[in-house]
Structure 1
Amino acid sequence: MKTTDPLNPAPTTFLHVDMDAFFASVEQRDHPELRGKPVVVGAPPDQRGVVAAASYEARKYGIHSAMPSRTALQKCPQAIFVSHNMANYKEVSRQIMRIFESYTPLVQPLSIDEAFLDVTGARRLFGDGPTIAAKIRSDIREQTQLTASVGVAPNMFLAKIASDMDKPDGLTVVPFEPAAIEAFLAPLPIGRMWGVGQVTQKKLLSLGLDTIGKLQQCDFNRLKSAIGARAATGFLRLAHGIDERGIGAEVDEKSISNEVTFPEDVVDRETIEATYKRLVDKVGARLRKAGFFARTAHLKIRWSDFSTITRQTRFPIPCDDDMTLREAGMDLLNENLRHRPVRLIGFGVSGLVETAEPQTLQLNLFENLDPGHREKRNRLSNTADSVREKYGENSLKRASDL
């Protein structure tokens, strides 16, 4: 087999593997009488509850996860509702993760049914990215009788977009040349951008930015005035296909986190948000006390059925101030909180460094990041620490999210 040229190393290759309608597909696999029928996994329609997953036959009627079960029944009266079997799903998930690990140790699960894989170092053994993706899809089908959709790309952001483009049972390969990447992204709707929630999407649409291509051409200052410098920087980088995150890069680095398990499962959003914001503030205070700046923020949610998700976002510039941490934390929460009972909520930071200098020269493209603004936020956070240390943890109350 041809060896890699050390002077011209092959580009990094990522896969994003996403199981197709995972819970519903497992139920259809285990119960042949459900195959080809609209299956809804979740609460029965005569009870208060929501849809956990829907088969593709049910999705044709507009049924989706987090939808009230009663609404799902109204959309599709012939839908078959089944209770979830989390123990079974977890066992199948472990089986799938073992398949991933047979190709590369660099696996980052995002949830029970999806994961990123860095297969750069696996190509000498197994072939190029598309070949490895095809092998993994084949292994999953043979060993679990389930299907997966896979995106192949030079970074994680592009791989995740690609995996959703040809569902179910699809394989999409993103080009690796910068100009071709921009052309690949340009026609996609703005809602496909990672991190663009409903609120941000409305702001972008108000600027006439309905596609990623239009975002690519948007003036930074104009975007900054609408969504802030941090979000503007991050979205412009992603719009050009720039994402330098890696798998396993922070495994050995320090992290700081706090989480709370509620005495009883909580649905009330106000209660969840208030608890979560206190966790963010505690993490910020610990971060500053330790003398570090964070590169990545993490959200953790455990639902009442004990299924757990973790999500993360990367700061364009390492930070330690409460305002930036809250913005990132709330973006993650707003993107991922569903109308489901929450058992545990957590917030953390990782990728800790001793300086707030940008970690990449790519930020020079956007030099309008205001250092005075960052300094003001840092002073406010340090003042808050001093007040809390002197007068107690509850001496300051948040009037609003700055």
Structure 2
Amino acid sequence: MRKIIHIDMDCFFAAVEMRDNPALRHIPIAIGGSRQSRGVISTCNYPARAFGVRSAMPTGQALKLCPQLTLLNGNMEKYKAASKQIRAIFSRYTDHIEPLSLDEAYLDVSECTLFQGSATRIANDIRHSIFTETGLTASAGIAPNKFLAKIASDENKPDGFFVITPAQVTDFVKTLPLKKLPGVGVKTAARLNQLGLHYCADITDAPLPVLLKHFGGLTDTLLKRSQGIDDRPVCNNEQRKSLGVERTLEHDLLHYTDCVETLSQLLPQLQRRLEHYANTAAGKTTPIQKVGIKLKFSDFRQTTVEKQGQPLQLDKLLPLLTEAWQRRQQQGVRLIGLQIGFKTDALQQLALPF
């Protein structure tokens, strides 16, 4: 039985700013682009969240919810330095570390002998070390697998921890809302609700043909996670699942040809990022599985059109752009993105349990 810890830093970028400037600690702040540049919020502190401000929210909307919001440009080099310091702390406890981003990671401490092998005490010692050495707080989830550990780390935020022991898994997942499962976004959650499926206990009793009809390849993940099953190991090769570039436009685009022009500018940016990634150890043998175009419209709806085996060439991307453009419902386009998905172990479909 694995012992997995998911460490998630609390409002990381904002926390670094508050640490370095105590005057910011008790006022609502956010890291993000300006209203004039049609930016979005990267992260915000908890006083800002009390007003409804959230990450990925347009800056203009955030300022309407919280007019007194202090907006900061952010300093990525400073955040990277703090992240490096935190990862060095992780390495004292285990070599099995899977970073998910600058501010979160999985740790497999199954073989760690500290604290008589207690994953809970190890997690709390990690949190204590992070606070003592960086002045930042972290939340932790402790569970027998990655999926549950990530769910657990969100239970007692900020600066908290939550434990799901092997004996508690069955009862815990029964009442877990399906919207918390990986891969279940707003649209999938709505479709589940329409079928009368709200909690993990509901889906385990649902007819398999119905699930396959409505959810296709996601069915396997839904069924396994609903039973608390996740056999994925903690991988420390940092292999990417995707790579992309996007641009929020100064003015909404109302003509298809303008979208083509923007896409033609994004393509060389992505090609440069791909070339850089291909020169890393993780990227040398990572084939491209799919290419996608993302559009966000004036009403903030967004759509993505993807195709497998698609060459990264402008003429080959235009049919994807055309399909996405046709979904605009007479709205303008405020953001265009171009992304590629890599063929990795994490993307391989699991066998369905018949």
TM-score, normalisation: structure 2? 0.72
Deviates more, 1:149-158 or 1:339-348: 339-348
Q: 2:96 aligns with which of 99, 106, 110?
A: 106
Counterpart Cα distance in 2 of 1:340 and 1:101: 42
Deviations 1:228-249, CA, capped at 9 Å, x for gaps: 1x21111100100000000238
Q: 1:350 aligns with which of 328, 333, 344?
A: 344
Q: Residue 86 of structure 1 aligns to which amino acid in structure 2?
A: M
Whether the 8 Å CA contact 1:256–1:349 is kept in 2: the answer is no
Counterpart Cα distance in 1 of 2:37 and 2:232: 43
Q: Percent identity?
A: 35
Counterpart Cα distance in 2 of 1:257 and 1:64: 25
Aligned to 2:326: none
**Deviation >6 Å, runs of 4+:** 255-258, 266-276, 296-300, 339-344
- Are residues 121 and 27 of structure 1, via their aligned partners in 2, closer, same or farther at CA, if it must alter by over 3 Å? same
**Offset at residue 322 of structure 1 (A):** 6.3
**Offset at residue 261 of structure 1 (A):** 6.5
Whether the 8 Å CA contact 2:290–2:309 is kept in 1: the answer is no
Aligned to 1:50: 40
> Does 2:231 correspond to 1:231?
no
Whether the 8 Å CA contact 1:126–1:132 is kept in 2: the answer is no
Whether the 8 Å CA contact 1:182–1:239 is kept in 2: the answer is no
Q: 1:211 aligns with which of 184, 188, 199?
A: 199
Aligned pairs, number? 293
Match of 2:231, SS state, is: coil
Match of 2:30, SS state, is: strand
Aligned to 2:181: 193
Match of 2:140, SS state, is: strand
TM-score, normalisation: structure 1? 0.64
Deviations 1:66-102, CA, capped at 9 Å, x for gaps: 1111111110111111111111001001111111111
**Offset at residue 50 of structure 1 (A):** 0.9
Structure 2: tracts of 5 or more residues without a match: 254-258, 272-285, 293-307, 311-332
Q: Residue 210 of structure 2 aligns to which amino acid in structure 1?
A: R
Aligned to 1:66: 56
**Offset at residue 215 of structure 1 (A):** 1.9
Match of 2:106, SS state, is: strand
Deviations 1:227-272, CA, capped at 9 Å, x for gaps: 11x21111100100000000238x59xx89896778xx46699879
Structure 1: tracts of 5 or more residues without a match: 1-10, 280-293, 301-320, 324-338, 368-402
**Offset at residue 344 of structure 1 (A):** 7.3
**Offset at residue 14 of structure 1 (A):** 0.4
Deviations 1:338-374, CA, capped at 9 Å, x for gaps: x99788733211349xxx9x978xx5xx22xxxxxxx
Matches within 5 A, 1:169-318: 169-177=159-167, 180-228=168-216, 230-248=217-235, 251=237, 265=247
Aligned to 1:153: 143
Match of 1:116, SS state, is: strand
Counterpart Cα distance in 2 of 1:340 and 1:109: 32
Matches within 5 A, 1:91-170: 91-123=81-113, 127-170=117-160
